[in-house]
């Protein structure tokens, strides 16, 4: 088995920074980016430096992955709109299914390459990505449910305020007396 690439040995938070920096720079400026990466590694006390070609190769891989993600997301949105499934939770479910398919294809491809084993670190990142996607789906569903509950409670409060106003108006106009108005307020829970 070949030794791991240096880029794969950098700490996760620095790799995440590198991915974000690559996106922000439009996957260009590799010389400056390599200098910044090595400066960050040195400041952190890491005894590793990464070359421009390694950063460039990583950037190309990540760019292809980011494009595939964007295409998958656009496809999911289009597919759900075509099929009338615009619900956010269903979108997350479709994306999760697509990620599962992608993971399977990636693992199958790695296993078919002669003399190469699957890197456990790659499996870890793949599993983490899928866990984050599932987590995101649950959080979105909870946020949506909380928003629907808030809207329903607001509608109930508005309806109560309108009824209270109608009772007050009826009492002022003399349509009902003060005692009847008070009874109505008690029955409706306004007292």
Which of 72-76, 119-123, 131-135, 141-145: highest mean pLDDT? 72-76
More confident site: 131 or 46 = 46
Q: How many CB atoms lie within 10 A of CB 88?
A: 13
Q: What is the pLDDT of residue 4?
A: 81
Separation between Cα atoms, residue 8 and residue 31, nearest integer Å = 19
More confident site: 66 or 85 = 66
More confident site: 74 or 32 = 32
Q: What is the pLDDT of residue 119?
A: 67
Instruction: Please state the pTM of the whole predicted model.
Output: 0.45
As a whole-number percent, the residues of the chain with pLDDT over 90 amount to 20
HSE (CB half, 13 Å, CA atoms) of 157?
Answer: 6
């Amino acid at each position: 088995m070949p030794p791991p690439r240096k880029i794969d040995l950098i700490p996760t938070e620095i790799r995440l920074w590198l991915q974000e920096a690559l996106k922000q720079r439009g996957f260009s400026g590799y010389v400056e980016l390599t200098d910044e990466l090595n400066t960050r590694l040195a400041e952190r006390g890491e005894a590793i430096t990464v070359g421009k070609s390694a950063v460039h190769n990583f950037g190309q891989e990540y760019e292809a992955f980011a494009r595939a993600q964007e295409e998958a997301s656009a496809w999911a949105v289009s597919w759900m709109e075509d099929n009338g499934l615009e619900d956010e939770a269903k979108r997350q479910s479709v994306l999760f299914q697509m990620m599962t398919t992608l993971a399977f294809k990636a693992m199958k491809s790695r296993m078919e390459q002669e003399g190469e084993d699957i890197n456990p670190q790659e499996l870890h990142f793949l599993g983490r990505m899928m866990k984050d996607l599932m987590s995101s789906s649950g959080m979105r569903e909870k946020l949506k449910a909380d928003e629907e509950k808030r809207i329903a409670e607001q509608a109930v409060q508005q309806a109560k305020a309108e009824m209270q106003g109608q009772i007050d108006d009826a009492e002022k106009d003399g349509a009902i007396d003060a005692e009847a108005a008070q009874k109505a307020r008690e029955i409706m829970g306004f007292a």
